[in-house]
Homo-oligomer: A and B are copies of this chain.
């Protein structure tokens, strides 16, 4: 019986899944800043500082996925 040989790593599949949520979440955050700027341009500074807090904690999930793809065997 010929063994089943599939190239590549399951970790790449996991990284692809790990980017799905953070990319949509961070896109949502910055889209909200843009919508808020269109409604009230003078509040852009306060919105951006909130956006960077949200960006940091959401993007961290994908960055941790990069590290895990190398660590897990």
Interface residues of A (CB under 8 A from B): 1-41, 43-44, 46-48, 50-51, 53-55, 57-59, 61-62, 64-66, 68-70, 72-73
Assuming A30-B54, A36-B37, A46-B37, is B8 touching A14 (CB within 8 A)? Answer: yes
Known contacts A3-B4, A23-B62; 13 additional CB pairs below 8 A are A6-B10, A8-B10, A12-B15, A19-B20, A24-B28, A27-B28, A29-B34, A32-B32, A34-B51, A35-B35, A39-B40, A41-B43, A69-B72
For the complex formed by this chain, how many copies does it contain in all? 3
A43 near B50 with CB under 8 A, answer: no
B44 near A46 with CB under 8 A, answer: yes
